[in-house]
Structure 1
Amino acid sequence: MHYSKLRISADATSKLRFLRTRTGLTPNLLCRIAIMLSLEEGPLGTAPVPDEAGSEFNAYTLTGEYAGLIAALLRWVEEGPSPDQPLENDELIVRLRGHIHRGVGTLSVRSKAPADVLRLVAGAA
């Protein structure tokens, strides 16, 4: 999966602002957690594609040294273990945006304080 910049939805951007205030975590870290939470829920299926009217992230800022791992997990969840036809790069990016959107929504409901994020991460381990 190759991209240099990724723009997320306006809704996710708004929720990230509140989450940053509640938790003290930066938006890129919150997005990483959101991606993992969403991937844990499974494929997006027929979920509507989120808009691109929100914040823009550089690829490295968003995923850091975990870009390869996140791409592999995204492919695994969205394509399954033995895909008949692998998803194109553009479709993978759309699905990554979708997972950020869904995951940030989940985080905004479950996280009212920094300890809540820790419980979410520790519960997944």
Structure 2
Amino acid sequence: MQYSKLKISADATSRLRSLRQRTGVTPNLLCRMALMISLEEGSLKGVPVPDEEGSEFNSYTLTGEYGALFGALTRWVEEGPSPKTPLSNEQLLAFLRGHIHRGIRTLSVRAKSPRDILRLVPETA
């Protein structure tokens, strides 16, 4: 998965601002958490792609050194173990944005304080 910048939806940007105020966690880390929460929920197939009217992130700021891992996990969830047709880079990026959008919606309900963020991390981590 290759990209230099990724724009998220206006709704996700608004929710990120609120989450940052409540938790003190930076938007890029919140996006990483949101992505993992959404990937855990499964595929986005059939869900409309969110708009690109919100914040813009540089690839390294968004995913850090784990960009390839996030791309592989997104590909695995969306394609399954043996895809007939692999997703294009554009499709994969759309799914990445979609997962971030869905995960931020979930986080905005679950995380009301920094303590709530800690509860999302398993004790064995």
Instruction: Report the TM-score range of the alignment, normalised by the length of the smaller protein.
Output: over 0.9
**Structure 1 residue runs without a partner (length 5+):** none
Q: What residue in structure 2 maps to residue 63 of structure 1?
A: 63
Q: Which amino acid aligns with 2:44?
A: L
Q: Once the 2 structures are TM-superposed, how far is the Cα of residue 121 of structure 1 from its aligned partner?
A: 2.1
Partner amino acid, structure 2, of 1:9:
S
Q: Cα RMSD (Å) of the superposition?
A: 1.2
- C-alpha distance in 1, partners of 2:49/2:124? 26
Structure with the higher fraction of residues in helix conformation: 1
Distance 1:9 1:106 in 2: 15
| Superposition TM-score, scaled by structure 1 size | 0.97
Q: Does 1:7 align with 2:19?
A: no
- Aligned twin of 1:79: 79
Percent identity, please. 70
Aligned twin of 2:108: 108
Q: Counterparts in 2 of 1:13-28, with a 5 A limit?
A: 13-28=13-28
- What is the aligned partner in structure 2 of residue 119 from structure 1? 119
CA distance in 1, matches of 2:103, 2:23: 15
**How many residues are matched?**
125
Secondary structure, counterpart of 1:122 in structure 2? coil
Q: How far is 1:49 from its partner?
A: 0.8
User: TM-score, with normalisation over the residues of structure 2?
Assistant: 0.97
Q: What runs of 5+ residues in structure 2 fail to find an aligned partner?
A: none
**Which whole-Å deviations, capped at 9, do the CAs of 1:11-47 have from their partners, x for residues lacking one?**
0000000000011000000000000000000000111
1:124 is displaced (CA, Å) by: 9.1
Q: Deviations over 1:52-101 (max 9, x none)?
A: 00000000000000101101100110000111110000000000000000
Please name the residue that 2:41 is paired with: 41
Alpha-carbon offset, residue 117 of structure 1: 1.0
State the alpha-carbon separation in 2 of the partners of residues 34 and 108 from structure 1. 9
